[in-house]
Amino acid sequence: MPTVAPLDLNGHCIAALFIGDVPYFALADGTVHRLDYGHKTLQIHDGLLAATLDQAGSQLITGGEDGKVCASAGDSVETLAEVGRKWVSSVAAGPQGSVAYAVGRSASVRFSDGRSREFQHARTVEGLAFSPKGMRFAVARYNGVTLHFPATDGKPTELEWAGAHTAVTFSPDGNFVVTSMQENALHGWKLADGKHMRMTGYPGKVKSLSWSAKGKWLASSGASAAIVWPFQAKDGPMGKAPLELGTRGNALVTCVACHPSEDIVAIGYNDGMVLAVRFADAKEVLLRRPGKGPVTAMMWDKGERRIAFGTDAGDCGVIDITG
């Protein structure tokens, strides 16, 4: 039986993740909580807007309403950048300790040696993601995606598709870029030939995307089930129907997190429930009963045994699937 170790906090959880074996919970009020031989708290921002784990898995990268970009772990905080009174609305972690962050219409990359490069855009930078290979990052913007090569002076690649793209992700093999859009849809590009992929039919906005092991599937929120698109074929999901896993008649999926090695997805709902569902036979296991608010963040640990989760009401915790 799965067990849940609750951590009742006060506020919207932006990210729940593990640094080593320690679960971390980053809240919108700027506090970061961790369960490291007891509950410990660190105030990092005056208002935290975005958080992600660095690629080494050793630091939490955050951006705030206070215009700061920070890297933190345990009790130590380093301010990587300060932009004044504008919001740092998005952050992404790249190779060799690099970090990208978005402020209004600009996206900046800070390299581990402290150098940084800024890229201006005609429209607001809505989402950021690094490619899994090489020093390349994607900016989600109105009417498409811009791919930058910040280590060189190479010209950016523009991927166009009409509409507002609010978040972006690369497939783990680096062959596909997928965005979520303002109008309840995903859009994808196959980078080799620029082929478009439209993934529509969601009743709500897609706020959570998660690639399964080896990038064979892309799980998404935004419907009454987790919508899981097949990416095994060379053209991705085109012409194929997605899996619909964990369908519930009276709830919406708000967060998805794929298992690190198996074809299983943890699904969080707007009532706080969490299920684990296997792709092969759609078998469901209840991991957490409904709570106070929609699940907003989840991450599996390296041991593939625990899931850190958070909600918009602050009732966070750690699920141990082995009990």
Partner 1 sequence: MSEAQAPTQTQIPVTVLTGYLGSGKTTLLNRILSENHGRRYAVIVNEFGEIGIDNDLIVESDEEIYEMNNGCVCCTVRGDLVRVVEGLMRRPGRFDAILVETTGLADPAPVAQTFFMDEDVRAKTRLDAVVALVDAKHLPLRLKDSKEAEDQIAFADVVVLNKTDLVTPEELAQVEATVRAINPSARIHRTERSGVNLTEVLDRGAFDLKRVLDSDPHFLDSDDQHDHDGHHGHHDHAHASPIHDVSVKSVSLRGGEMDPKKFFPWIEKITQMEGPNILRLKGVIALKDDPDRYVLQGVHMIIEGDHQRPWKADEKHESRLVFIGRDLDEDRLRKSFEACQAA
CB 292 within 8 A of CB 313: yes
User: Closest separation between CB of residue 224 and partner 1, Å?
Assistant: 15
Q: Is 105 in the site for partner 1 (CB under 8 A)?
A: yes
CA nearest neighbour of 309 among 232, 262, 255: 255
Q: Nearer Cβ to partner 1, position 49 or 265?
A: 49
Q: Is 159 in the site for partner 1 (CB under 8 A)?
A: no
Which residues, 192 to 211, sit near partner 1 by CB under 8 A? 204-205
Q: Provide CB contacts within 8 A for 303, sequence distance 6+.
A: 21
User: Closest separation between CB of residue 175 and partner 1, Å?
Assistant: 25
The C-alpha atoms of residue 238 and residue 217 are separated, in whole angstroms, by 13
Q: Is 49 in the site for partner 1 (CB under 8 A)?
A: yes
Among 123, 190, 195, 216, binds partner 1 (CB under 8 A): 123
CB 217 within 8 A of CB 243: yes
Q: Which stretch binds partner 1 (CB under 8 A): 11-19, 91-99, 271-279, 315-323?
A: 11-19
Q: Which amino acid is at 220?
A: S
CA distances to 42, 53, 136, 138, 159 from 192, in Å: 44, 28, 15, 15, 12
CA 72 to chain centre: 18
Contacts 24+ apart (CB under 8 A), 230-233: 231/171, 231/176
User: Closest separation between CB of residue 65 and partner 1, Å?
Assistant: 7
CB 103 within 8 A of CB 91: no
Query: Taking the CA atoms of the chain, what radius of gyration do you get in angstroms?
Result: 19
Q: Is 2 in the site for partner 1 (CB under 8 A)?
A: no
Query: How many residues at the interface with partner 1, by CB under 8 A?
Result: 29
Which residues, 282 to 321, sit near partner 1 by CB under 8 A? 312
Interface mask toward partner 1 for 73-102; x: CB under 8 A? ------------xxx-x-------------
Among 181, 209, 223, 319, binds partner 1 (CB under 8 A): 181
Q: Is 12 in the site for partner 1 (CB under 8 A)?
A: yes
Q: Nearer Cβ to partner 1, position 76 or 250?
A: 250
The C-alpha atoms of residue 294 and residue 205 are separated, in whole angstroms, by 14
Give me the residues that bind partner 1 (CB under 8 A), please.
11-12, 14, 28-29, 47, 49, 65, 85-87, 89, 104-105, 123-124, 126, 142, 162-164, 166, 181-183, 185, 204-205, 312
